[in-house]
Amino acid sequence: MAANEWLETVHPAGEGLFTFPTAGGRVRVAVTDDALTTYGGLVPWAAFTKHLGVAASCPVARTSPNAAPVYDAIPSFMPTALSDGRRFSHLAWVREEPTIPDLFGLETVVGDVTVRRLFASVDPALGAEWIAAQARSSWGSCPD
């Protein structure tokens, strides 16, 4: 994906109409008087984290042919952490939600055991560097 596909001019207060690519295709965002859908915030979040490479840069090498892809494990966990466990209280609920794999472009939403094993296999020093790099990318994308 070319960098200019992500560059669009949007009014600073957010009233502008813009589109962005997601795993399920391009999404158009516009101001409306309608209530925000249940997953409205997850659509841009999923696209943003994929663009940043959050899961792709995770310092874990999966060697087992039975292991779930890292890309499935990290986004499976993210909705639970993003909402502090209030909206998505545990991974079992996320696994039952059919829209999550589509939003994040996953083969499947993995279970909590898979997520725990993945995080347990991350070297602490490499994990700290990974999180710091993601934080820099995330904060660097925010306006002043």
**54 domain residue, yes or no:** yes
Q: What is the pTM of this model?
A: 0.68
Percentage with pLDDT > 90 across the chain:
9
Beta bridge partners of 26: 21
pLDDT of residue 53: 84
**31 domain residue, yes or no:** no
Who's near 52: CB < 8 A, 6+ residues apart? 134, 137, 138, 141
pLDDT of residue 129: 94
User: Other CB atoms closer than 10 Å to residue 60's CB: what's the count?
Assistant: 20
The total number of structural domains in the chain stands at: 1
pLDDT tens digits for range 80-111: 776 665 544 577 777 888 888 888 888 889 98
Give the range of the structural domain holding residue 125, as residue numbers without chain letter.
Answer: 38-140
pLDDT tens digits for range 26-36: 877 777 777 66
* Sign of the torsion formed by the C-alpha atoms of 2, 61, 78 and 57: negative
**30 domain residue, yes or no:** no
